[in-house]
Amino acid sequence: MDYYEAVAAQPARLSDSATAVRAAINDLDLWPWRAGVLAVVSMGASHHAGHAFAHRLSRHGRRVVNISASSLLDTGRGDLADCYLFVSEGGRSRETIEAAQLADGPRLALTNAPSAPLSSVVDAVIGLDHGEDSKVYTIGYTATLQALGLLAQSLDGVDEGDDWSRLAAQVGHLAASKAPSLLGVASIDVVGAGASYASAAEAALLLRESARISTATYETYQYLHGPMEPLSATSGCLLFGDGREVSLARYLADAGVRTVLITTQDVPAGPGLSVVTVPDVPAMSRAVLEIVPVQVAAGALARTRGLAIDGFRYHQDDTKVDAL
């Protein structure tokens, strides 16, 4: 699916996916995943989404770890958790499938392809049912986050106030808004904390894949301890958050660094500082909304650089398995 069409199609696709995910959750007996240490296992964009999910559950007392499938495989152990959630949008990620085969405990999968190979090595499957996606994930990422939010509430019974019925319209508004500008920079640092670390990690990946620009991801307070030293007038910084990120954004802009802040706060823009305001909603919904302005900005940046977001230059033959 064309990248720009996919960004614009997200409201309708998210509505469809929410209906399908609710139905799948209602049909499942989730008790094996409601107690003990839960490991969220995935690769790539799915792993970034897992940061928000783990943050959401752990805030309410659940012991949960978000681990890459390759890291789990490196341990050679399947008993690192009591139960597992394997996330793969296409259901064909080799490392995720092999990690599921290694895992010793109840295994739940979240995928847009319930008939893909991942489903054959788990105990239960939740289908995203969001339809086709662009080659650089857009719909797949936001639908995964939405599904993880719905699943989190089903697992722990905590209602944080997410209004999933309004989310699609909010996404549509942001997708139709003007893109924040990161034109003319040679590299971009991407910074966020808590659930917004998911947005920082995914934004960095998205900008690399779409605009082919060098990026780096940092947790907000880790970033204060030295990583900003290479910044210059040819650098950009993209921050997500309402706290320390606000003062940091002002500081960097004053220092001559092109800065974009995505926040729920009413922060004035200024020389070198662009501000995108997103609705003040709970963490999982907010993670969905935070990435949409970056999707728009990535598309604009790619066009300016004369790039078509239609695939990848570098292909590895061992990251996916054949479809069943």
CA-nearest of 38, 49, 298 to 197 is: 49
Q: Which of 288, 247, 280, 250 is nearest to 263 (CA)?
A: 280
Mean pLDDT per block of 10 residues along the chain (324 residues) reads 97 98 98 98 98 98 98 96 97 97 98 95 98 96 98 98 97 93 93 98 98 97 97 97 98 97 97 97 98 97 93 86 80
pLDDT of 244 reads 98
User: What pLDDT is attached to residue 315?
Assistant: 84
Q: Does residue 285 lie within any of the structural domains? A: yes
Is the domain of 266 the same as that of 237? yes
pTM score: 0.97
Closest CA relative to residue 209, chosen from 11, 45, 8, 96: 45
- Residue 308: per-residue pLDDT: 93
CATH number at residue 98: 3.40.50.10490
DSSP strand pairing (107-111 vs 124-127)? parallel
Asked if residue 151 and residue 17 are part of one domain, the reply reads yes
- Answer whether residue 240 is part of any domain: yes
Report whether 218 contacts 196 (CB < 8 A): no
Residues 182, 133 within the same domain? no
- For the chain, how many structural domains are there in total? 2
3-class secondary structure for 214-274?
EEEEEEHHHHCCCCCCCCCCCEEEEEECCCHHHHHHHHHHHCCCEEEEEECCCCCCECCEE
Identify whether 309 is part of a domain: no
Residue (of 321, 118, 305) closest to 207 by Cα position: 305
Is residue 314 situated within a structural domain? no
What letters, b where the CB count within 10 A reaches 16 and e where it falls short, cover 113-152? beebbbbebbebbbbbbbbebbebbbbbbbbbbbbbbbbb
Residues 143 and 13 occupy one common structural domain: yes
- How many angstroms separate the CA atoms of 211 and 228, rounded? 22
Q: Is 302 helix (H, G, I), strand (E, B) or coil?
A: helix
- Distance from C-alpha of 319 to C-alpha of 63, rounded to nearest angstrom: 29
- The parent domain of residue 105 ranges over 3-160
Query: Would 166 be classed as within a structural domain?
Result: no
Note the pLDDT of residue 319: 87
Residues 109 and 38 in one domain: yes
Q: What local confidence, expressed as pLDDT, does residue 310 receive?
A: 86
Residues 117 and 30 in one domain: yes
Residues 143, 183: one domain?
no
The answer to whether residue 318 is domain-embedded is no
> Within this chain, do residues 215 and 144 fall inside the same structural domain, yes or no?
no
| Pair (139, 185) in one structural domain | no
User: What pLDDT does 278 receive?
Assistant: 98
Cα(155)–Cα(296) distance, integer angstroms = 33
Residues 151 and 183 grouped into a single domain: no
Residues 111 and 209 in one domain: no
pLDDT at 257: 97
